[in-house]
Structure 1
């Protein structure tokens, strides 16, 4: 009988056993609690189909996924006869009929319970019953001091990969989400070299005077004391001027004192020869009604048209309560905007006194403040360091013990708070969008080019045509691919894609065999096969060519002379010479030597590729290797197809050749994906589209979607989670779904930019 019983300590454990044994499409017959834990009775989907279908007659032929090669000898050379596939197929396991009437009442009664179980387990990795991984991450964030709003934003749509992740992998994912949202100063040298006028602002007692001295010291250590001057406007605090004068004397730099309400313009004009001017302002509570006026004084630099703007750096006490920090940032930001510009950034102080950093990092993330420095003591200049996002996040998440003020679960907003919650939700979406786009720009060569081309879809047709030549210019395109080298070209077939009037563009691949967002439009390339390859060598210099068919004699000679490797797709009926006779590739598979078992991603499925190889020749005497690949699903073992390749005989490159086959299989659906993108872009456009622009955007979108589906790196998991989230609902990961999500992401980017501009 094909019904199987699985028992796990928890529901999640039992479900994992079901998936491992029967695949995601298994039919669950029942679930119940037993003394050993949770029992699930399940049946493979294909078994269910055979059991419930009418019994075939004895004479019914056996279905085969592929035609069997004709039996018989291939002639001399000692090659054995082909195996008779009929005998192999007939030896499979036969299903035993099952009376499902006995199960019907129980199944119908529990089907709804089953759906509830599956839904509840969708985000429950291994752990104590009722203690989900998302729950544990939420509590970790609360214990670190992060607030409800940011926690909800981070954990709203966790990636599906977390379903089977360990706690360590989940913690690493969480740290990446925080790091990607936290802005820090990436180039201190550039900041100090460029100089400017900086005003340190913030509440009383936050450490502005000491931080002023520390910043000046960092400049002096780099450039000497001649190019820096200090200014203090703090006339309220007893001894404030004298404290700064002592620091200035020790550093050998100038210091100037002004009354709090005195204009800065004249003094800054006299200090125009100083590369760096740091202003130590008077400390004011965020509730002091004079604060707006004081900040406005820092915006009034009426010393001439060439007067340098004053950049305001807000100091934040890392040991303060989150609500206090929220009020400080909100008040100072509004005052700074009223003075003509937003806050330039922030500096964290008293980090050595803070038991938890979650609150201050939460504030910086949600308000989009760029952290420049971290102050962690009174020593000048030792106790000031650059803000490093990963180190800060790890320090925050490693807070020991439970906070007495941490909550167990987020509180739902009241009706009066819905508009405010909506606006904050939009800000959260904006942060997630910015992080996703930053990842795509950093990791995928050519994505910036796609972003450049995307807005043109809304331009009038004449403007589109005027901009396309610049977009397809080779030098311009290669400038967008400098973050990862162009290793190979994946060539499309010369004939048009089914249903379209264009041929599939060539697509650039990186060293890992993944697509870059850099398609090369076929109709703009030289016409002949050898000429196209020569163009690629001269303009792009790829090490590999993945070809749709075996190259001709001239092309092979050129590839050989230039030292470029190649791999070509073969067809089942492609004729080659083996053992002195001509045969179709489909008839030679059984004679090939097994070489490797590899894993790959094929049309949205995790698959297994069994490779074998046979020495063959062509009519012109060329000696090649014929490669044979059998594809099957990793989880179910179901066969997906047979594939063939031809490649030069090169044992030294065998591993690289097999890697190229995996890459070519991974992009097997790229033409269909490009066709889908072409249609979606066309249907969404309100204006006529230039065909070259439309194809360039469509092929780039398809390449990025394919890359995201195949890439296993952490950054891709993070991007996939957001891209799939913008689709809404729950959809299985696939290149098609990712394509739709990418279009939504780019559309959302345009919407945020439009609102920002308005």
Structure 2
């Protein structure tokens, strides 16, 4: 194995140097944050020191050896996030290359469906599996399939992939409904929609706790919704406040917890949640993601929340995107289903309880439009 030490200002810069020397099959053997001595002990600068190595590749192209971070460094600063993005993009590029090679051998009349799924943002792996299933069926029956027959095969494949995942809204079996997610995804409005339905349709006594104390506007927004629903609101600035809020709302059937919208790509903010909220309570936790976000950003956020028991996803802003494939990619990769999706700001109208058949229909809609 060839080995070499690199020093750079950030992990991203170090990885560029590694790739320039060893290519994408390099192995990161160690990584550390170091500080220079500076002038007279002052003005110290942080830098990254990486030891990389290279062996002759033994894996197939679809199983690339990708760089990884040592556990001691992985969550120390933002460079780990940038590296995760680069890794995601690299994997995506390799899969797309493999996908293109696989598609070239398929009959021409199958390609409109696969092109539609690409535009929807469905993963290369997903699309290849669907294309292969259609092609294998054609070979077995020794004939070309019509677009309608291809549609049914794709629909059947997606149903088999999705049907064992959990779908549907709040179970009403647990007292606490915890709604998590990054800033700007519409958590507060989504909570109001779910709470309104619980009150109006299920006749539940509801209450709210907000831990989003970073933005006064967020507290006031929740208070406005709570006043309309004639429900109490408690504000928790710390874990002691949270315990007091739980006690005050003890008579409620359901308590909705609105968490702070932060940049949860950073581990620090995820850890802050565990210090504030008692996750041992009889609780359902939902992770809210916006369909207007980049897929690699959503993937990183889901990874950050792995320590929590996420029951289901809630996808917002469906009306602001024309591609819902990333929703399916996330569900498949993490074996997490979807509770709701939203498509507007109206409370409580613009929210739909999810089921996989409807979502598959939406994904395949327009597959053969001219």
> Judging changes above 3 Å, is the alpha-carbon distance between structure 1 residues 153 and 273 closer, same or farther for their aligned structure 2 residues?
farther
1:313 aligns with 2:286: yes
Q: Distance in 2 between matches of 1:240 and 1:361?
A: 30
| CA distances 1:502-554 after superposition (whole Å, capped 9, x unpaired) | xxxxxxxxxxxxxxxxxxxxxxxxxxxxxxxxxxxxxxxxxxxxxxxxxxxxx
1:182 aligns with 2:177: no
> Judging changes above 3 Å, is the alpha-carbon distance between structure 1 residues 298 and 157 closer, same or farther for their aligned structure 2 residues?
farther
Q: Distance in 1 between matches of 2:161 and 2:105?
A: 32
2:318 counterpart residue number: 351
Which structure has the higher relative contact order (CA within 8 Å, separation 6+)?
A: 2
The runs of 5 or more residues in structure 2 that have no matched partner are 1-101
- Within the candidate set 335, 342, 364, 2:331 is matched to 364
User: Does the CA-based 8 Å contact 1:150-1:366 persist in structure 2?
Assistant: no
2:217 counterpart residue number: 239
1:275 aligns with 2:242: no
1:191 aligns with 2:147: no
1:141 counterpart residue number: 117
Matches within 5 A, 1:46-125: none
User: Does the CA-based 8 Å contact 2:167-2:337 persist in structure 1?
Assistant: no
SS at match of 1:259: coil
CA apart distance, 1:392: 1.5
1:294 aligns with 2:272: yes
CA apart distance, 1:136: 4.4
User: Does the CA-based 8 Å contact 1:356-1:399 persist in structure 2?
Assistant: no
CA apart distance, 1:171: 1.2
Q: Distance in 2 between matches of 1:385 and 1:277?
A: 21
CA apart distance, 1:291: 2.2
Q: Distance in 1 between matches of 2:244 and 2:157?
A: 46
Q: Distance in 1 between matches of 2:105 and 2:334?
A: 37
CA apart distance, 1:261: 5.6
SS at match of 2:267: coil
Q: Distance in 1 between matches of 2:125 and 2:335?
A: 14
1:222 aligns with 2:201: yes
1:170 counterpart residue number: 150
Q: Distance in 2 between matches of 1:129 and 1:330?
A: 36
CA apart distance, 1:199: 1.0
The runs of 5 or more residues in structure 1 that have no matched partner are 1-122, 302-306, 337-341, 403-758
CA apart distance, 1:237: 1.4
1:204 aligns with 2:183: yes
**What TM-score, normalized to structure 2?**
0.63
User: Does the CA-based 8 Å contact 1:175-1:393 persist in structure 2?
Assistant: yes
| CA distances 1:686-717 after superposition (whole Å, capped 9, x unpaired) | xxxxxxxxxxxxxxxxxxxxxxxxxxxxxxxx
CA apart distance, 1:220: 0.6
Say which one has the larger Rg.
1
Q: Distance in 1 between matches of 2:184 and 2:296?
A: 18
1:386 aligns with 2:366: no
User: Does the CA-based 8 Å contact 1:260-1:282 persist in structure 2?
Assistant: no
Alignment size in residue pairs: 263
CA apart distance, 1:207: 0.3
> Judging changes above 3 Å, is the alpha-carbon distance between structure 1 residues 200 and 260 closer, same or farther for their aligned structure 2 residues?
farther
Q: Distance in 1 between matches of 2:276 and 2:255?
A: 13
User: Does the CA-based 8 Å contact 2:209-2:233 persist in structure 1?
Assistant: yes
| CA distances 1:428-478 after superposition (whole Å, capped 9, x unpaired) | xxxxxxxxxxxxxxxxxxxxxxxxxxxxxxxxxxxxxxxxxxxxxxxxxxx
Matches within 5 A, 1:581-600: none
SS at match of 2:222: helix
CA apart distance, 1:186: 5.1
User: Does the CA-based 8 Å contact 1:143-1:401 persist in structure 2?
Assistant: no
- Within the candidate set 329, 348, 355, 2:302 is matched to 329
Q: Distance in 2 between matches of 1:195 and 1:151?
A: 38
Q: Distance in 1 between matches of 2:362 and 2:106?
A: 29
CA apart distance, 1:159: 7.3
> Judging changes above 3 Å, is the alpha-carbon distance between structure 1 residues 152 and 261 closer, same or farther for their aligned structure 2 residues?
farther
2:243 counterpart residue number: 265
> Judging changes above 3 Å, is the alpha-carbon distance between structure 1 residues 309 and 129 closer, same or farther for their aligned structure 2 residues?
closer
